[in-house]
Amino acid sequence: MSRIKIVCTSTGCLDYAPEQYEEIKKKIDIIRIHMFFQGKEYLEGVGFDPADFYRIMENVKDVKGNLPHTGIPTHEEVAEVFERWIAAGYGKIIVIALSSYLGGTWNFIRLVAKEYQSKAEIVVVDAKITCFQEGQLALMAQEMVDRGYDVPEILQEIEWRKAHQEFLGVDEHLDYLILNGRLKGGKAFMGKAMNICPVVHFNHEGELTSLFSAIGPNNALKKAAAQLVQWIGDRKKEDYILYRTFTGKSLVERQQALEPKFEIVTNHPDVIMSCVTGINVGPWIVGYAYVPIRRPDEELPPVPIYYYEQTGKIAD
């Protein structure tokens, strides 16, 4: 069987993943998103601490006049990754990319991958999410590579997890959601006027939506906690991963203070969110990442259609 290389976009937060992943993440390559802030260009994950980045964002007085933005990787950057691993003898590459709803990165990488179809089997996966849950898909894929699984089996596990994982967050201030066009018109005006805090959520199509809203951050945090408990249901703690995730930490203490009331117990270290995500939603969001672990009695989906579309293989 050909060697398999796992690649992830920088939004997967592997650069600042918890210490327990230190060794395995070294096996995963990263395609980096460009960021533009205060007149400078950065590659995500290179040369700065995300906590420092969010502290700077929190202290910007004129947000509209200093609105950061992002850019997709260049053709040369993506092609260099493929060429390097093909030259190193890898006949198969799986790229885990941030949700296609969040910009053109997934599609652009997929288009570049087509140029290498005759040289390697490359599959670009739309993670339908971002931040460390995206990175966890790459980590799971690497673990499966290490255990000898082939691409179709890895993709089946990825698709099962994508269909069952959940993220929800509370955004204390609406500035970045409004200025980036994610909250518009009357909703934006009323939200600012009434101190409305949205509880945002990635649906399973990969779109960041407002699940519901509340007056003030405390009420929003309570709604978020109640929804999380509903999602977990009676699933045993050993059958899921649960952790806090955030841009800035302005609401983390209040989030933690509510957890005993809702019997919420995290079982994984907190993980800061991708700076690319923070640029779009702002430095005042806290939330939960809920990642079920598939049990033996839970059936895998079929090999996804995109595997055949991207590789030219024919389904059995």
Residue 152 has pLDDT above 90, yes or no: yes
Residue 1 has pLDDT above 80, yes or no: no
* Mean predicted lDDT score pLDDT of the chain: 91
How far apart CA 30 and CA 221 sit, in angstroms, is 33
Contact indicator for 200, 169 with CB cutoff of 8 Å: yes
Q: What's the average model confidence in pLDDT over 289-299?
A: 97
Residue 269 has pLDDT above 90, yes or no: yes
Tokens 């006027």 locate to 193
Q: What's the average model confidence in pLDDT over 62-87?
A: 92
Higher pLDDT, 208 or 255: 255
How far apart CA 209 and CA 286 sit, in angstroms, is 15
The amino acid at residue 14 is L
pLDDT bracket for residue 20 (50, 70, 90): very high
Same CATH topology for 3-162 and 166-292?
Answer: no
pLDDT at site 84:
98
Percentage of the chain exceeding pLDDT 90: 75
**Domain ranges across the chain:** 3-162, 166-292
Residue 283 has pLDDT above 60, yes or no: yes
Residue 292 has pLDDT above 70, yes or no: yes
pLDDT bracket for residue 281 (50, 70, 90): confident
Closest CA to 208 of 199, 217, 200: 200
Percentage of the chain exceeding pLDDT 70: 93
Q: What's the average model confidence in pLDDT over 193-220?
A: 85
For the stretch 124-148, pLDDT in tens is 999 999 999 999 999 999 999 999 9
pLDDT at site 62:
75
Closest CA to 270 of 241, 240, 244, 237: 244
pLDDT at site 121:
97
Q: What's the average model confidence in pLDDT over 61-84?
A: 90
Contacts of 196 (CB under 8 A, 6+ apart): 174, 190, 213, 214, 215
pLDDT at site 21:
98
For the stretch 211-238, pLDDT in tens is 888 888 999 999 999 999 999 999 999 9
Closest CA to 94 of 62, 138, 131, 64: 138
Question: Hey, which CATH number is domain 166-292, 3.20.20.70, 2.40.37.10, 3.30.1180.10, 3.40.50.970?
Answer: 3.30.1180.10
For the stretch 102-132, pLDDT in tens is 999 999 999 999 999 999 999 999 999 999 9
Residue 190 has pLDDT above 50, yes or no: no
What pTM was estimated for this model as a whole? 0.94
- Write out the two tokens for 195: 């101190």
Residue 184 has pLDDT above 60, yes or no: no
CATH of region 3-162: 3.40.50.10170
The amino acid at residue 181 is G
pLDDT at site 61:
79
Residue 185 has pLDDT above 70, yes or no: no
